[in-house]
A = this chain, B = another copy of it.
Amino acid sequence: MPPAKPVPTGPRAASRPTLRDVARTLGVSVATVSNAYNRPDQLSEDLRGRILAAARDLGYQGPDPLARSLRRGRTGVLGVVYDAPLDYAFADPAAALFLGSVTRAVHDRDLNVLLLAAPHDPQADATLAVRNASVDGFIVYCAAEGSPLLRAVLDRALPTVLVDQDPQGGSAHVGIDDAGGAQAAAAHLLDLGHRQLGALCLELAGDRHPGPVSAARETQVAYRTTAQRIRGYRAATAGHPDAALHLMEAGQNTPADGEALTLDLLRAHPEVTGVVCMSDVLAQGALRAAATLGLRVPGDLSVIGYDDLPSSGALNLTTVWQPTPDKGAAVGAAILDLLDGQEPAPVTLPTRLVVRGSTAPPRSPAAPTA
């Protein structure tokens, strides 16, 4: 005797109706109902109308996105990967602005963005989210050299674009002229006559190591952006044998860290008259520190940022502008190319020094206060 065919479970409970349910109530095939949604030209207007009506009556919401993605082999989702907890990342408006410009670029093709980030808990498996993400491609925004997260992304072997990172593993690359911008910033201060400079750096590596940067540490920078900008600062000072550059590393990219770092810097090196910062957010902290110490900007201390945030206009902050909207557009274009099977050319976008009111020649050393 053949094994009894399992009895179908009759009309299912209050569960969501499926394509099959609406097919059954009309006595048509599921293929036809599917066509009613996806290929209106494949069935008569009349039947299509009846199907859509029946669907409405049943409370059917249209084809399940998940099942559709599985069958079609595309999800319509791009993973944007930050190698840091997201609330840290978004403490910098520049990160958010970039994200906005990326989504703008990919929305036209009906792609959405899934946020993937490192967990807060350092014990937790950082790669889990990346490994379990249902996406058509990745955009990696900020990852240290050799980070597990980055490796997990590359392992997925999906279309991937690396932002501000050394190209590797067959992925596309978009970046800015980090070194050039930094060099311009430091050169600006040197041209004004400053010789004792401080630099507020973003993290050099994923380990938390805030404070003065040792020569040893400076040789092993994991983040490309940080490495390039240090290179720029160094290149500028190299032209002035009498110039000194004191590097400070931030634990987090926040005004609070920038303020603390500046206080430390000026305590250790009171001779410093100009500070270059790797972000406007850090520069905001430097401005606060100056206010705390009763130093006038730019009279007693010159400050330069990096990014040119919208708020930096109101702060009258001299800074290095970068083309955030273009960057997002370039990233979007690159990932779309990859999805289309084409190989996009690497992109490096320009930066530009924006001189505002937070920089001026140093007070001459011997001059009396005020």
A interface residues with partner B (beta carbon < 8 Å)? 61-62, 65-70, 75-77, 85-91, 93, 95-97, 99-101, 103-104, 107-108, 110, 112-117, 119-121, 128-129, 131-134, 155-157, 254-256, 281, 284-285, 287-288, 291, 309-311, 313-316, 325, 328
Contact between chains at A133 and B112 (CB < 8 Å) = yes
Contact between chains at A87 and B101 (CB < 8 Å) = yes
A120 to chain B, nearest CB (A): 7
**Extra A-B contacts (18), CB below 8 Å, given A77-B134, A114-B114:** A61-B131, A61-B155, A66-B66, A68-B132, A87-B328, A88-B100, A89-B100, A90-B96, A90-B100, A91-B310, A95-B96, A103-B117, A110-B128, A112-B114, A112-B133, A255-B310, A288-B313, A288-B314
Residues of B within 8 A of A287 (CB): 314
**With A87-B101, A117-B103 known to touch, is A132 a contact of B314 (CB < 8 Å)?**
no
A172 CA / B251 CA spacing, docked (Å)? 37
A157 CA / B75 CA spacing, docked (Å)? 21
Residues of B within 8 A of A76 (CB): 132
- A/B interface sample: 27 pairs, CB < 8 A: A65-B133, A66-B75, A66-B134, A69-B134, A76-B132, A77-B114, A87-B104, A88-B100, A90-B93, A90-B100, A91-B310, A93-B93, A93-B311, A95-B96, A96-B99, A99-B115, A107-B117, A110-B128, A112-B116, A112-B129, A114-B114, A255-B311, A255-B314, A256-B310, A281-B311, A311-B311, A315-B315
